[in-house]
């Protein structure tokens, strides 16, 4: 598996036309989007940071996997109160522009920190994903991140609680930790299956 950085874009009209099925990493600032992307492809290719709200662009990558090629989109995080007003104001149109225009978006990963409660902006985002992604036949998976920060016994219950709060079925819920190969493999297999299987892959 090889991954290449394609480009960064600040506006929908500069998003690249890749002609590949795409998976997007979406979620609150600092939830671990860039880290999970890196862990899934096994390369330090997306920039991560301890300071929330750093990624204010959509970053596109191309993956050459055993079963085919696909694209990854690392999106900027939302819900960071300390971000400058201009940054917060730019977020919604950028994400909505992405969701509206990205016809190749097959899988949206909505990342949620397992240790946090679901908040209003999370449910609002899920509504956008239903309207833009699911309505077009794409899939939305919920990923509970930083599982390593919880004891083993608390992981599944925390994930189930997330699923209930967001009203999503158990088969669409995944645990993730950048340190857990088994979790990463399970998630990657599911995502690649959705992206590359003949029924959904028309690109
Ligand atoms: N313990 C643990 N820490 C993690 C994990 N994933 C990410 N982190 C940490 O969480 C912080 C934020 O990670 P990022 O991947 O930059 O988060 P992001 O969602 O891309 O953040 P923005 O781009 O700012 O929205 C970093 O300090 C990471 O090291 C994980 O699975 N386990
Ligand atoms: Mg990031």
pLDDT digits (tens, 9 = 90+) for 40-53: 999 999 988 766 65
User: What's the confidence (pLDDT) of residue 125?
Assistant: 93
User: What's the confidence (pLDDT) of residue 199?
Assistant: 57
SS3 annotation, 105-149:
EEEEEEEEECCCCCCHHHHHHHHHHHHHCHHHCCEEEEEEECHHH
Closest atom of ligand 1 relative to the 48 alpha carbon: 16
User: What's the confidence (pLDDT) of residue 174?
Assistant: 98
Closest atom of ligand 1 relative to the 49 alpha carbon: 16
Instruction: Report residues of the chain scoring pLDDT below 50.
Output: 201
Q: Which CATH class is domain 2-195?
A: alpha beta
Which residues contact ligand 1 via a Cβ below 6 A?
27, 29-35, 48-50, 52-55, 76-77, 145-146, 148-149, 177-178
Q: Is 200 exposed, middle or buried (0-12, 13-18, 19+ CB in 10 A)?
A: middle
User: What's the confidence (pLDDT) of residue 89?
Assistant: 74
Which ligand is nearest the CA of 36, by number?
Answer: 1
User: What's the confidence (pLDDT) of residue 52?
Assistant: 60
* φ and ψ at residue 141, rounded to 5 degrees: -115, 140
Q: Tokens for 135, please give them.
A: 């309505």
Distance 64 CA to ligand 2 centre (A): 22
Distance 29 CA to ligand 2 centre (A): 7
Indicate which residue's Cα is closest to atom 21 of ligand 1. Answer: 30
Distance 126 CA to ligand 2 centre (A): 19
Which ligand is nearest the CA of 30, by number?
Answer: 1
Indicate which residue's Cα is closest to atom 1 of ligand 1. Answer: 146
């Amino acid at each position: 598996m090889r991954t290449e950085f394609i480009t960064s874009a600040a506006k929908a009209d500069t998003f690249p036309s890749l002609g590949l099925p795409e998976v997007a990493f979406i979620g609150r600032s600092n939830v671990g989007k860039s880290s999970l992307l890196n862990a899934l492809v096994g390369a330090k290719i997306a920039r991560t940071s301890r300071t929330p709200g750093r990624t204010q662009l959509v970053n596109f990558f191309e993956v050459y996997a055993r079963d085919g090629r696909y694209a990854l989109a690392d999106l900027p995080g939302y819900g960071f109160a300390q971000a400058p007003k201009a940054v917060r104001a730019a977020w919604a149109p950028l994400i909505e522009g992405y969701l509206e225009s990205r016809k190749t978006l097959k899988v949206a990963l909505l990342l949620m920190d397992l240790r946090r409660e679901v908040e209003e902006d999370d449910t609002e985002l899920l509504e956008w994903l239903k309207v833009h992604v699911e309505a077009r036949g794409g899939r939305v998976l919920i990923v509970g991140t930083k599982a390593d920060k919880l004891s083993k016994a608390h992981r599944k219950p925390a994930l189930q609680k997330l699923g209930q709060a967001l009203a999503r079925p158990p088969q669409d819920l995944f645990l993730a930790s950048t340190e857990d190969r088994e979790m990463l493999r399970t998630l990657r297999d599911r995502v690649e299956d959705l992206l590359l299987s003949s029924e959904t892959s028309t690109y």
